[in-house]
Amino acid sequence: MSLLVVGLSHRSAPLELLERVALDGRRSRELAAGVVGLDDVSESLVLTTCNRTEVYAEALSFHGAVAQVGDSLAKATGVDLQDLTPHLYVHYEERAVDHLFSLACGMESMALGESEILGQLRDALRAGQEDAHLGTVLNPLFQQALRVGKRAHTDTGLDRVARSLVGAGLTRAAAVLGSLDGADALVVGAGAMSGLAAASLSRAGVGTLGILNRTRERAERLAEAHQGQVHDWSQLERGLATADLVLTCTGATDHVVTRDLLPDDRTERPLVIIDLAMPRDVAPEAAEVPGVTVWGLADLNGDGADGTATAEAGGGPDETEQVLAVVRELVAGEVAAYLATRRSARVGPTLAMLRSRAAAVADGELERLDQRLPDLSDAQRAEVQQSVRRILDKLLHTPTVRAKQLAAHDADGSSVALLRELFDLDARETAAVTTPPQVSGLP
């Protein structure tokens, strides 16, 4: 079995296609359930963010799983597979682990180094655990990815040079509005990204901070945390008329901010709208209103050659590259350690079967000894049994250690196959000697 990732992101697909394949929480869980029920998949997890949709799977076969996952993704999103295929990427085994760990560090995001992805990974992991779609591969893998992401932010200078989507938007807004100090701001939505927006606006010193959400209770919690004011959803038009800056990120599938909700002219008091949602919350024609500036995810994507937002808030290019080199080194080390651990674990069932086979041989010989020497005392018989066990342990100790060492660096499993061949161990028998899945809490 092998780890497989099939997906598309802002690096492989245009935003209009990403909007079409965006899935809400319910549909993501339905897709994961469908994938885990496929013939060539044993575990699955679906990750959907504002700029990516990815399916992670533990595949029983590579080609079969790729075809089945791609077909499931097309059916779940309603996008024809022929339209999806040119934009899909497939990562396998080591490359899949490297992709996930880099993703957790914010290295694959539109805004380089952003930390919002950790919350999105945590939510996807929790959903997979609750729905029992994870087992001994994806569950520990994603928990490790979260730890790697946290290390990148605590052990490197990533936070010093990284820019989030919200931060990039506020920088642009300040260029239009002047200082944000004293500005009237409105946050539409109350999810994780909206929480980050509210916190950033509060730190920027805005004059008023309004929170508006369809579910008032969630808006109240967000407002309380950041000294904001709660508005009813029916007050959206009024809020748009009085705000200087609007950040919107809802889970709506249709446009929330439309042309008819805006005044005819905002020239005298400019309005900046930052649309962080996917699909977009703001209708395209809203930007046609004089004095209204609208930026979406594509606009917040920086001018970097690799398609990631630049790190304007940190040091210069040299410092940024130095920090990124440290993060890449961290990821490479974590990937190597994870793969070594996983490969070593693969030899476990074979070693367990080898020890079981050796113990069975010893038991048979001890039984024959009992029949040939029935007059042995209990103490003598126990001493013989203990001696035989010690001999077995000493004989098997070095091969066990060497087998684990070889397996840690064995990408194709050839050393495990050789061990089974040498001792005539049936692969089906050894596969049955496994440990039940352990699903632990989130880190």
Q: Which residues are catalytic?
A: 50
Residue 284 has phi, psi (to 5 degrees) of -55, -35
State how far the Cα of 75 lies from the Cα of 78, in Å rounded to an integer. 5
Q: Hey, is 382 helix, strand or coil?
A: helix
Distance of CA 251 to the CA centre of its chain: 19
- Cα dist from 46 to 28, 84, 274, 329, 333, whole Å: 6, 17, 27, 27, 25
CA quadruple 109, 110, 114, 119: dihedral sign: negative
Give me the residues paired with residue 245 across strands. 185, 272
Locate 141 and state its tokens. Answer: 């893998």
State how far the Cα of 413 lies from the Cα of 418, in Å rounded to an integer. 9
State how far the Cα of 350 lies from the Cα of 386, in Å rounded to an integer. 24
Angle between helix 348-372 and 317-346 (nearest 10): 30
State how far the Cα of 9 lies from the Cα of 110, in Å rounded to an integer. 9
State how far the Cα of 371 lies from the Cα of 364, in Å rounded to an integer. 11
Secondary structure element (H or E) that encloses residue 411, with its range: none
State how far the Cα of 360 lies from the Cα of 263, in Å rounded to an integer. 85
Q: What share of the chain is helix, strand, coil (3-state, %, to 5)?
A: 55, 15, 30
